[in-house]
Amino acid sequence: MFYKTLIKDHIRVAPRLFDLKVKDAVLKSAQQKYTGLIDPQLGIVIDITDVKKTGEGIIIPGDGASYYDSTVEALTFLPEMQEVVVGNIRDIADFGAFITMGPLDGMIHVSQTMDDFVSFAKDKVLSGRDTKRTLRIGDTCKARIIAISFKDLSNPKIGLTMRQPGLGKKEWLTEEEKPKKAATKKEEPKKK
């Protein structure tokens, strides 16, 4: 899920930024420091969008930069357990599919793609034996997060499933809606 998060920190402003207004220099320095940072509590920092508060600047002997006690606003992406995400299939392997969901990729194990026996074709297609459903690169899908690991901060792991009602490839969901709409129309009483 995307969040706006406030971060309080002492932001180091390098001397090359002294010609800017303090707020602009702090914003530029905070963006360099935080953009792309991966943290288990914050998630992935996508961008620093604003400087909310800047204190008095101080200079530490031996360092030509100034430090500002600041509060900055960050746009972050923090995946949550059981969250439903929409994304596109980026790649398919014999063990599952990789789905891009914002700034991260998640992995859907082949056993979690559909309620069917699934086979992998060399042209990177997952196919259901009985349902004849297929999953290809570029397909838009809805999935649920079932595992999150920030053990390796350079490569967080997100596990997904599409084996629950309301999840799966976009076309599969519209197929499921058609019988429900037809059943609803049959149940409506006739007007006299």
We report the CATH number of the domain holding residue 52 as: 3.30.1490.120
The predicted structure's pLDDT at residue 9? 94
Mean pLDDT for 139-168 is 91
Element (H, E) at 83: none
Q: Evaluate if residue 89 carries a pLDDT over 90.
A: yes
Q: Domain for residue 138, yes or no?
A: yes
Please give the C-alpha separations between residue 36 and each of 103, 154, 156, in angstroms, as whole numbers: 9, 10, 13
- Whether residues 18 and 41 share a domain: the answer is yes
Q: Domain for residue 190, yes or no?
A: no
- Whether residues 15 and 67 share a domain: the answer is yes
The predicted structure's pLDDT at residue 121? 87
- Whether residues 105 and 71 share a domain: the answer is no
Cβ neighbours of residue 4 closer than 8 Å, sequence gap 6 or more: 49, 73, 74, 75, 76
More confident site: 8 or 155 = 8
Q: Domain for residue 186, yes or no?
A: no
- pLDDT single digits (tens) 14-38: 999 999 999 999 999 999 999 999 9
Domain limits for position 141:
84-178
Distance, CA of 9 to CA of 187 (rounded, Å): 61
Mean pLDDT for 40-60 is 92
What count of Cα atoms within 13 Å lies in the side-chain half-sphere of residue 45? 21
Q: Domain for residue 121, yes or no?
A: yes
Domain of 162: which CATH number? Answer: 2.40.50.140
Average pLDDT, the chain: 89
Q: Evaluate if residue 183 carries a pLDDT over 80.
A: no
The predicted structure's pLDDT at residue 192? 55
Q: How many domains does the chain have?
A: 2
- Whether residues 88 and 73 share a domain: the answer is no
Among 77, 99, 118, the domain boundary falls at 77
pTM for the complete prediction?
Answer: 0.75
* Residue 19 main-chain phi, psi, to 5 deg: -80, -10
The predicted structure's pLDDT at residue 22? 94
Q: Could you tell me the pLDDT band of residue 153, with boundaries at 50, 70 and 90? A: confident
- Whether residues 63 and 124 share a domain: the answer is no
Q: What is the largest CA-CA distance in the chain?
A: 91
Among 55, 77, 99, the domain boundary falls at 77
- Whether residues 96 and 43 share a domain: the answer is no
The predicted structure's pLDDT at residue 99? 95
Q: Evaluate if residue 145 carries a pLDDT over 90.
A: yes
